[in-house]
């Protein structure tokens, strides 16, 4: 991921074996929404960010504490970003650690932190309680701070141009493991750890490792927590949360009905099935037209302009005729305003035969879309040299 202009208009599961299921199977899993996370409940402790306020109160009571303490702890966690129980001065000293252990157990440890772009891009590699690794990337832009988070350890979608896809799926993240990545970024921003001084985290994009809609329940819960006002949630603007998907059609429709109002990005990368079948294996299950129809329905249900992500790959998908076809398919589904295209130069991944388009070819592609009246913004690419750019996250330590 790279990222992300705001108008680029985003269970712990069973221990899924370390393998890459064929796309059809992956997508079936994705929309089965079967029993949620909590795989390996033993391995991934429950955390207040997995629960609603009532559940948090129960957890406090189970730890032998007064129920209302849960609300105080949530306030420290979400509103003050205070992770040291020693700072929770409105709670009796003797209860702080017990509440911290019960409600905010450590879910991840920073394994590595890599800087790029003069310190304005920070990639963190996190080790989860069961040893799985995930990455998040924090980016400071003029006037806004964005974090790109992972929804799964690895990914089962198997897209051949994406580094995460090459390693297969390790497991789904719990809601709290997702939220923790955002809270950690919010802390870094609030504590002035980026050049330019303290600020407030603005944007969250689900463009890190994993397919967010294949971890549906945890994703939706995490998003709710992110947009719930403090002190029960992080209080981010729903318009500043973007969920990016390969195009799991039933899950897009389900998300549209959640009333979350977050932005949707569809990773299209090709306007024709012949090519998209190769680039996005799940396209064999849900075709280009079905994915675009779902994107349009998402716009109709939410009023949020949808982003079409399009990694420009030299001599693969970057022809003017494909830009034309894309423009026609988007226009066929509605006038200006429902959709926005984000071309992004491919970030080459190790061993890949593909590379980014020639700049002149990229310009011609963009010009073709613009000429047809399609809003188009080339995404800026961040953190390439630390493998922190879109599609480069592989969690190799």
- Reported for 257-262, long-range contacts at CB under 8 A and 24+ positions apart, including other chains, are 257/301, 258/220, 260/220, 260/223, 260/224, 260/227, 260/302, 261/302, 261/303, 261/304, 262/10, 262/223, 262/227, 262/238, 262/302, 262/304
Contact call for residue 244 and ligand SAH (CB under 6 A): yes
Binding of residue 309 to ligand SAH (CB under 6 A): yes
Shortest distance in whole angstroms from residue 17 CB to ligand SAH: 20
- Asked if 390 touches ligand SAH (CB under 6 A), the answer is yes
Q: Which is nearer to ligand SAH, 122 or 246 (CB)?
A: 246
Q: Which residues are catalytic?
A: 135, 390
196 to each of 120, 141, 263, how far by Cα in Å? 9, 10, 28
Residue (244 or 283) nearer to ligand SAH, CB: 244
Stretch that binds ligand SAH, among 74-82, 187-195, 243-251, 362-370 (CB under 6 A): 243-251
Nearer to ligand SAH, 59 or 157 (CB): 157
Nearest-5° Cα angle at 224, 219 to 227: 125
C-beta of 60 vs 155, nearer to ligand SAH? 155
**8 A C-beta contact, residue 248 and residue 31:** yes
Judged by beta carbon, residue 184 or residue 394, the one nearer ligand SAH is: 394
**Cβ neighbours of residue 224 under 8 Å, at least 6 residues apart?**
233, 260
CB-based burial label for 377 (10 Å; 0-12, 13-18, 19+): middle
> With contact defined as beta carbons under 8 Å apart, do 253 and 196 qualify?
no
Question: Least distance (Å) from ligand SAH to the CB of residue 303?
Answer: 21
CB nearest ligand SAH: which residue?
391
Does position 1 interact with ligand SAH (CB under 6 A)? The reply is yes
* Site membership for ligand SAH, residue 267 (CB under 6 A): yes
Pick between residue 72 and residue 245 the one whose CB is nearest to ligand SAH: 245
Query: Looking at 225, 295, 346, 369, which residue binds ligand SAH (CB under 6 A)?
Result: 346
User: In this chain, which stretch among 25-33, 40-48, 156-164, 215-223 interacts with ligand SAH, using CB under 6 A?
Assistant: 156-164
Q: Least separation, in Å, of the C-beta of 280 and ligand SAH?
A: 8
* Residue span 2-41 as binding mask against ligand SAH, x where in contact by CB under 6 A, dash where not: ----------------------------------------
Q: Which residue has the tokens 């977050």?
A: 262
DSSP string, 196-264: T------EEEE-SSS-GGGGHHHHHHHHHHHHSPTTTS----GGGEEEEES--HHHHHHHHTTT---EE
Residues contributing to the site for ligand SAH (CB under 6 A): 1, 157, 161-162, 207, 211, 244-246, 267, 309, 311, 344, 346-347, 349, 390-391
């Amino acid at each position: 991921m790279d990222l992300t202009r705001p108008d680029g208009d985003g269970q712990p599961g069973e221990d899924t074996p370390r393998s890459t299921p064929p796309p059809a199977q992956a997508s079936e899993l994705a929309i089965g929404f079967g029993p949620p996370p909590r795989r390996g409940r033993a391995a991934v402790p429950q955390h207040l960010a997995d629960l609603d306020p009532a559940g948090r109160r129960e957890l406090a009571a189970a730890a032998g504490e007064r129920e209302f303490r849960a609300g105080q702890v949530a306030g420290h966690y979400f509103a003050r970003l205070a992770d040291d129980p020693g700072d929770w001065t409105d709670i009796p000293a003797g209860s702080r650690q017990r509440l911290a252990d019960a409600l905010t157990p450590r879910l991840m440890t920073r394994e590595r932190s890599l800087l790029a772009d003069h310190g304005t891009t920070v990639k963190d590699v996190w080790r989860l309680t069961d040893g799985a690794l995930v990455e998040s990337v924090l980016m400071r832009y003029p006037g806004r701070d964005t974090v790109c988070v992972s929804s799964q350890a690895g990914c089962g979608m198997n897209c051949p141009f994406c580094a995460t896809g090459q390693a297969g799926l390790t497991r789904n993240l719990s809601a709290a493991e997702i939220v923790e990545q955002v809270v950690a970024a919010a802390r870094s921003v609030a504590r002035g750890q980026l050049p330019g001084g303290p600020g407030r985290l603005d944007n969250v994009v689900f463009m890190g490792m994993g397919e967010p809609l294949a971890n549906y329940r945890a994703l939706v819960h995490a998003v709710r927590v992110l947009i719930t006002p403090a002190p029960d949630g992080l209080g981010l603007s729903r318009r500043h949360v973007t969920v990016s998907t390969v195009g799991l059609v039933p899950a897009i429709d389900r998300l549209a009905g959640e009333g979350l109002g977050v932005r949707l990005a569809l990773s299209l990368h090709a306007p024709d099935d012949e090519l998209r079948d190769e680039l996005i294996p799940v396209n064999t299950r849900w075709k280009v037209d079905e994915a675009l129809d779902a994107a349009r329905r998402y716009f109709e249900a939410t009023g949020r302009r949808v982003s079409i992500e399009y990694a420009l790959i030299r001599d693969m998908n970057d022809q003017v005729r494909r830009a034309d076809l894309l423009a026609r398919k988007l226009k066929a589904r509605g006038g200006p305003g429902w959709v926005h295209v984000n071309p992004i130069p491919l970030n080459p991944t190790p061993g890949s035969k593909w590379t980014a388009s020639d700049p002149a070819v990229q310009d011609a592609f963009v010009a073709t879309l613009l000429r047809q009246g399609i809003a188009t913004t080339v995404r800026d690419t961040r953190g390439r040299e630390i493998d922190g750019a879109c599609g480069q996250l592989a969690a190799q330590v």
